[in-house]
Amino acid sequence: MTKVVTPYNDQNRTKKEQVEEMFDNIAHKYDFLNHVLSLGIDITWRKKAVKHIGKSNPKTILDVASGTGDFAFEALSLNPDKVTGYDLSEGMIKFGREKAVKQGVQDKVVFIKGDSERMPFDDNSFDAITVGFGVRNFENLNAGLAEMYRVLKPGGSVAILEASQPPNAIIRWFFSLYFSNIVPFIGKLVSGDGRAYSYLPESVKAFPEGLEFVKICENIGFENAKWQPLTFGACAMYTMTKK
């Protein structure tokens, strides 16, 4: 059985409650830390994923676990009619909404607060779905993926980005040094949340990555499920479609 890793190791609260609190806590520094700690490479990962879903020219895009909306804003490059950013944390969404207003795209990018395991959308609603660094945080991974499958239109495509562990032992050693020591240190210093950036490497280690995740997606019903390591395997891009 996969180990359940939670942000605050609090036995009395669900993972979801703790995840929501954690992202509310770090929302004010999330974008800054994201770009600094990934050395800006996260931007290229999202561009690659958006390029992938762009092949089917989607007009309605759902960005699950949208946070402050970086994936949703990147998806505007495909000139869709509408991008919906959906997230559990009101704190994160608040920054997403502010960014939309600043960019003058508040009519095209809308944010809705809610749980990915119970989405308020009709079956077969979206042409494409993106998820950036969100699935690892789901309390019930299967339920979240099943909801994504339900709201995706037949023929629609999905691109999921998730942090992962480099397969090469030497690169993994350096990566682990950075990810398990330097990232939590800087993360705590800047965000003020001592646990958030320790939970990050812990949750990556516990996540069923690569082929294991591909199999989970296939069991949900997705077709053409594939994965591709990015930047020496520090990130993985998972792509799939609905028949």
Q: What is the binding site for ligand SAM (CB under 6 A)? A: 16, 19, 23, 34, 65-67, 70-71, 87-89, 92, 115-117, 132-134, 137-138
Instruction: State the nearest-atom distance from the C-beta of 137 to ligand SAM, in Å.
Output: 4
Burial of 91 (0-12, 13-18, 19+ CB in 10 A): buried
Nearer CB in complex with ligand SAM: 117/202: 117
Nearer CB in complex with ligand SAM: 64/214: 64
Judge contact between 162 and 144, C-beta under 8 A. no
Instruction: State the nearest-atom distance from the C-beta of 115 to ligand SAM, in Å.
Output: 5
Instruction: State the nearest-atom distance from the C-beta of 119 to ligand SAM, in Å.
Output: 9
Instruction: State the nearest-atom distance from the C-beta of 22 to ligand SAM, in Å.
Output: 8
Instruction: State the nearest-atom distance from the C-beta of 169 to ligand SAM, in Å.
Output: 27
Nearer CB in complex with ligand SAM: 42/127: 42
- Helix or strand holding residue 225 (H, E): strand 223-230
- Helix or strand holding residue 222 (H, E): none
Burial of 22 (0-12, 13-18, 19+ CB in 10 A): buried
Instruction: State the nearest-atom distance from the C-beta of 163 to ligand SAM, in Å.
Output: 9
Instruction: State the nearest-atom distance from the C-beta of 205 to ligand SAM, in Å.
Output: 16
Output the DSSP codes for 51-118. HHHHTT--SEEEEET-TT-HHHHHGGGG--SEEEEEES-HHHHHHHHHHHHHHT-TTTEEEEE--TTS
Nearer CB in complex with ligand SAM: 137/239: 137
Nearer CB in complex with ligand SAM: 14/168: 14
- Helix or strand holding residue 160 (H, E): strand 152-163
| Distance, CA of 98 to CA of 160 (rounded, Å) | 24
Nearer CB in complex with ligand SAM: 96/154: 96
Q: Which amino acid is at 240?
A: M
Nearer CB in complex with ligand SAM: 6/157: 6
Q: Which amino acid is at 169?
A: A
Please count the residues of the chain: 243
